[in-house]
Chain A
Amino acid sequence: MSINLHIKLLTSLLVITGLVVLWYKVTYLGLPLVPTTRADVWTIEARMEFKAYREVPVKLDLRVPRDPEGFIVVDENFVSGNYGLNIDDTGQDRKIQWAVRNTSGYQVLYYRLHLAPDEISITDSSPGEVAVPDVKPDQFPEYMASAITTLVTEVRTKSADNISFAREMLKRLNSGSPDSNVELLHQDVNRDEAWIIRIAGLLNQGNVPARLVRTLTLKDGLNHKSLTPWLEVHDGTHWVAISPWTGETGLPRDSMIWSRGDHDILQLSGGKNSRLEFSVGKHSLDMTVVAEQRARKLNSRMMEFSLMRLPVQTQNIYRILLMIPVGALLIVLLRNVVGVKTFGTFMPILIALAFRETELLWGLILFTSLISLGLLFRFYLEYLKLLLVPRLASVLIIVIMLMLAISVISYKLGFERGLSLALFPMVIITMSIERMSLVWEELGSTEAIKQGIGTLAVAALGYLLMSSHYIGHLVFTFPELLLIILAATLLLGRYTGYRLTELWRFRMALTWFK
């Protein structure tokens, strides 16, 4: 196998691997390709207040959604004070229990949930049972029995399946001119919730599984809201939400299901006057955070190895480190394809990294002035005929003193920018001075200045590339892009064409050569 074929295979393998991982992360995990992509995140706050009895253990249970359909739980917080916190997963929803042995007076607890809409549908089977649930006949007062039987029989004749049965039933129950049977059923019910429980009971009598669900309206700025009761009917395969008032399928607009079933949302023991209020707010959050949660929900291995799992400090280091391959590719391009001459191979990249602290213009000014001043000292030291290492050390010390001087003076003059100089890598500056003075002596000032400008130009380009938020986001979120960068570098490693500067160097060949 020839080397070139080998390289082609290797690079295609790298590119394909990189692209597949990238594609997976973009389409399945929803990681954004652009850094500005933000997701709307709902912050739902449940506020519970009650009055605790004196010297009695207090237990407060709150039912919260487990895996709300169409949403991703980005985060949740509990404000529990001195309460013990316990979370119970019931399979359908979760029960949060706050408990304290001894407290008294007015108590407030909070539960906060951050939800992001899940635009990429990942599961089409709704949570909850897939099998047809058992219908447990509800207990109704005896005097209603005949009315219920009549109603159910009438509705059954006018319907074909569970949903149409429910619709017909709802039409009867909500009719503007109710018959006596319906009026009887209405008699002892005054709250919406109780009414829906009754409807569910009636449907169950007709062998149609139905249940109460509680929904929350998601609208920015809602305060002191309570949950809206709603109805769900099982159509044989899925639970279908149906309006208990109109019989239309679907949830109320902009809402989510908070809990299913008719158990109480809030249960309190050891206190009284409990109240539950919801407030809803909307804010935007970086898509990557949402995607990470989605990956966790999917149990994706990909995100297990994500850089976002690292401590923030390490992440920040990698945000910089991951830009270096991009800079290295730029150097390869500029040196092997363009043919720019620089001091040292990767020195321009290190200088570019230093520019991150100072920003470009100031970086260029400070770097040029430091190098020029350093060069002056270097020429003076040449006259003193010092040994090489002591001379390098002296230049280093002088560079640091110059940096100090520039910082102090610019601070006195009120230029904040001068202070960032302290982060300039002085070893790099020292080596640049030494190399430049060598080239200066050996090849003359023209060549030295030419190479110096080349170095600065490459550094500036490198800075512009490496400070791009877009590229920074891409390599940090999709480190697999490094495979593609590696592939490009490998390919350029076998680039045997002319460099751009060679076209100039050999320009006379076009006219002289036979």
Chain B
Amino acid sequence: MSIFPWRQLSALGVLGINKRNADYISKYNPRHRYPLVDDKITSKAVAVRHGIPVPDLYGVIEIEHQIADLPALLHDKPSFVIKPARGCGGEGILIIDSRNTHEYICVNGYGYTVAGLSHHVSNILGGMYSLGGRPDMALIEYRVDFDSCFDGVSHRGVPDIRTLVFRGIPVMAMLRLPTRLSRGKANLHQGAVGVGIHMNHGTTRGGYWQGKPILHHPDTGNELSGITIPYWDDILCLNARCHDCTGMGFIGVDIVLDKNRGPLLLEVNARPGLSIQMANRTGLLPRIQFIESLANLPNSLQDRMMLAKSLA
């Protein structure tokens, strides 16, 4: 093995940002399809049209004036999520778990008055969380009732399953677990735990947190490996279908597990992060290059699922 770290990384098949951008994102993600994934209202509509299960949309706030209708829209909803339509990196998402007489209680324990919520929505509309600060819209949607399978390994927030889907084949997946540090968010750079998943049977292995390998959840102390993810086959199929409905070849698909409705598509990311490699302790390149070398990819969901399972 070479003494140069970059040669070693390359030999291990680690995908770097420059290569991701130049060789995969710019090649497989057509520019004109970006609005489809960048705008959550559009992507939700597309997903619904293709029969992909998503959290229900309660309402969209498009202009400042509509903020006044917020209490009316929310009066019968004990829990809900407010998110920017074009946010990125999980920023600007507010998850309300419950309410008392005058406050909405956020998943991280903060209380929001109606005025507080209105201000947040107003920030979203002003473009505070959108790429380039463009004016945006706010979505209010169903707050997923999480499947209890991750209760022992998540600190409040939204545990989700991020899968990297290349040319319609899921190539690598990780479970993202919120921590106290991430304040309920599931983004690794915000402090969530990434846990690698075996592609063929959907069981977890060790985790990765703040640049270090870990075996136990930093807040709950429960073991991270050996959890079997329910509906694994359904999740793989759902991932593959996201490729079909977005037409993008290199995406990160976020899926949450609802207690009643099973796997739901949360969002599709056209610029998936690379920490998934650290969580799985495997480089992405061998898998991606293998898929890239295949002249004909299987068409049926079943065959694609089998191909995905054969990768690990």
User: CA separation between A387 and B127, bound complex, in Å?
Assistant: 11
User: CA separation between A496 and B128, bound complex, in Å?
Assistant: 32
Q: A388-B128, A389-B126, A443-B190 are in contact. Are A510 and B9 (CB under 8 A)?
A: yes
A495 adjacent to B18 (CB under 8 Å): yes
Instruction: Identify A509's interface contact among B12, B89, B91, B125, CB under 8 A.
Output: B12
- Please report which residues of chain A, range 404-443, place their CB below 8 angstroms from some CB of chain B when the two chains form the complex: 438, 442-443
A443 adjacent to B189 (CB under 8 Å): yes
One digit per residue, 1 when the CB lies within 8 angstroms of any chain A CB and 0 when it does not, for chain B 12-37 equals: 10101111001100000000000000
| Nearest CB in chain A to that of B24: its residue | A496
What's the least CB distance linking A332 to chain B, in Å? 11
Which B residues lie within 8 Å of A512 (CB)?
213, 281
B8 adjacent to A510 (CB under 8 Å): yes
Binds A, one of B74-82, B115-123, B157-165, B232-240: B115-123
| Nearest CB in chain B to that of A382: its residue | B119
Instruction: Flag whether B282 is at the interface (Cβ < 8 A).
Output: yes
**Range of interface residues on A (Cβ < 8 Å):** 20 to 34
A509 adjacent to B127 (CB under 8 Å): no
Instruction: Flag whether B265 is at the interface (Cβ < 8 A).
Output: no
Instruction: Flag whether A160 is at the interface (Cβ < 8 A).
Output: no
User: CA separation between A122 and B9, bound complex, in Å?
Assistant: 57
Which B residues lie within 8 Å of A442 (CB)?
89, 91, 190
Which A residues lie within 8 Å of B49 (CB)?
none
Instruction: Identify B281's interface contact among A385, A495, A513, CB under 8 A.
Output: A513
Which B residues lie within 8 Å of A388 (CB)?
122-123, 125-128
What's the least CB distance linking A202 to chain B, in Å? 84
| Nearest CB in chain A to that of B119: its residue | A385
B16 adjacent to A502 (CB under 8 Å): yes
| Nearest CB in chain A to that of B282: its residue | A513
Q: A387-B126, A388-B122, A513-B282 are in contact. Are A506 and B18 (CB under 8 A)?
A: no
Q: A385-B115, A513-B282 are in contact. Are A497 and B6 (CB under 8 A)?
A: yes
A499 adjacent to B17 (CB under 8 Å): yes
Query: Main SS of the interface on chain B?
Result: helix
- Please report which residues of chain B, range 281-307, place their CB below 8 angstroms from some CB of chain A when the two chains form the complex: 281-283
What's the least CB distance linking A61 to chain B, in Å? 72
Instruction: Identify B14's interface contact among A493, A494, A496, A509, CB under 8 A.
Output: A509
Which B residues lie within 8 Å of A508 (CB)?
211-213, 278
Instruction: Flag whether B51 is at the interface (Cβ < 8 A).
Output: no
Instruction: Flag whether A503 is at the interface (Cβ < 8 A).
Output: yes
Q: A497-B18, A499-B16 are in contact. Are A513 and B5 (CB under 8 A)?
A: no
Instruction: Flag whether A507 is at the interface (Cβ < 8 A).
Output: yes
- Identify the interface centre among B17, B116, B278: most chain A CB within 10 Å of its CB: B17
Which B residues lie within 8 Å of A385 (CB)?
115-116, 119
Which A residues lie within 8 Å of B190 (CB)?
442-443
Instruction: Flag whether A336 is at the interface (Cβ < 8 A).
Output: yes
- Identify the interface centre among B19, B128, B282: most chain A CB within 10 Å of its CB: B128
User: CA separation between A385 and B18, bound complex, in Å?
Assistant: 39
- Please report which residues of chain A, range 199-252, place their CB below 8 angstroms from some CB of chain B when the two chains form the complex: none
Instruction: Flag whether B277 is at the interface (Cβ < 8 A).
Output: yes
Instruction: Flag whether A498 is at the interface (Cβ < 8 A).
Output: yes
Instruction: Flag whether B64 is at the interface (Cβ < 8 A).
Output: yes
| Nearest CB in chain A to that of B19: its residue | A496
Q: A442-B91, A443-B190 are in contact. Are A495 and B283 (CB under 8 A)?
A: no
Instruction: Identify B19's interface contact among A389, A443, A497, A507, CB under 8 A.
Output: A497
A499 adjacent to B91 (CB under 8 Å): no
Q: A496-B23, A508-B211, A509-B278 are in contact. Are A336 and B18 (CB under 8 A)?
A: yes
B277 adjacent to A499 (CB under 8 Å): no
Which A residues lie within 8 Å of B14 (CB)?
498, 506, 509, 513
Instruction: Identify B22's interface contact among A389, A494, A514, CB under 8 A.
Output: A494
Instruction: Identify B12's interface contact among A499, A502, A503, A510, CB under 8 A.
Output: A510
A496 adjacent to B22 (CB under 8 Å): yes
B9 adjacent to A506 (CB under 8 Å): yes
One digit per residue, 1 when the CB lies within 8 angstroms of any chain A CB and 0 when it does not, for chain B 79-123 equals: 000000000010100000000000000000000000110010011
User: CA separation between A223 and B245, bound complex, in Å?
Assistant: 90
Which B residues lie within 8 Å of A510 (CB)?
5, 8-9, 12
User: CA separation between A506 and B89, bound complex, in Å?
Assistant: 20
What's the least CB distance linking A173 to chain B, in Å? 83
User: CA separation between A51 and B126, bound complex, in Å?
Assistant: 83
What's the least CB distance linking B198 to chain A, in Å? 14
A503 adjacent to B9 (CB under 8 Å): yes
User: CA separation between A442 and B128, bound complex, in Å?
Assistant: 11
User: CA separation between A205 and B79, bound complex, in Å?
Assistant: 120
User: CA separation between A494 and B278, bound complex, in Å?
Assistant: 25
Which B residues lie within 8 Å of A502 (CB)?
9, 16-17
| Nearest CB in chain A to that of B125: its residue | A388
A387 adjacent to B122 (CB under 8 Å): yes
User: CA separation between A510 and B16, bound complex, in Å?
Assistant: 14
What's the least CB distance linking B13 to chain A, in Å? 8
B213 adjacent to A438 (CB under 8 Å): no
What's the least CB distance linking A457 to chain B, in Å? 20
User: CA separation between A387 and B64, bound complex, in Å?
Assistant: 9
Which B residues lie within 8 Å of A497 (CB)?
6, 16, 18-19
A438 adjacent to B17 (CB under 8 Å): no
B18 adjacent to A496 (CB under 8 Å): yes
Residues of A within 8 A of B (CB): 336, 339, 385, 387-389, 438, 442-443, 493-499, 502-503, 505-510, 512-514
Can you spell out 18 A-B residue pairs with CB atoms less than 8 angstroms apart?
Answer: A385-B119, A387-B64, A388-B122, A388-B123, A388-B127, A442-B89, A442-B190, A443-B189, A443-B190, A493-B22, A498-B6, A498-B14, A499-B18, A506-B9, A506-B278, A510-B12, A512-B213, A513-B283
A-B pairs, 10 with minimum CB distance: A388-B126, A496-B19, A385-B119, A498-B16, A513-B12, A512-B281, A503-B5, A496-B22, A498-B6, A442-B91
Residues of B within 8 A of A (CB): 5-6, 8-10, 12, 14, 16-19, 22-23, 64, 89, 91, 115-116, 119, 122-123, 125-128, 189-190, 211-213, 277-278, 281-283
Q: Kindly list 10 other residue pairs between chains A and B, CB separation below 8 angstroms, not including A493-B22, A496-B23, A497-B6.
A: A385-B115, A387-B126, A388-B127, A438-B128, A496-B18, A498-B6, A498-B9, A499-B17, A506-B278, A508-B212
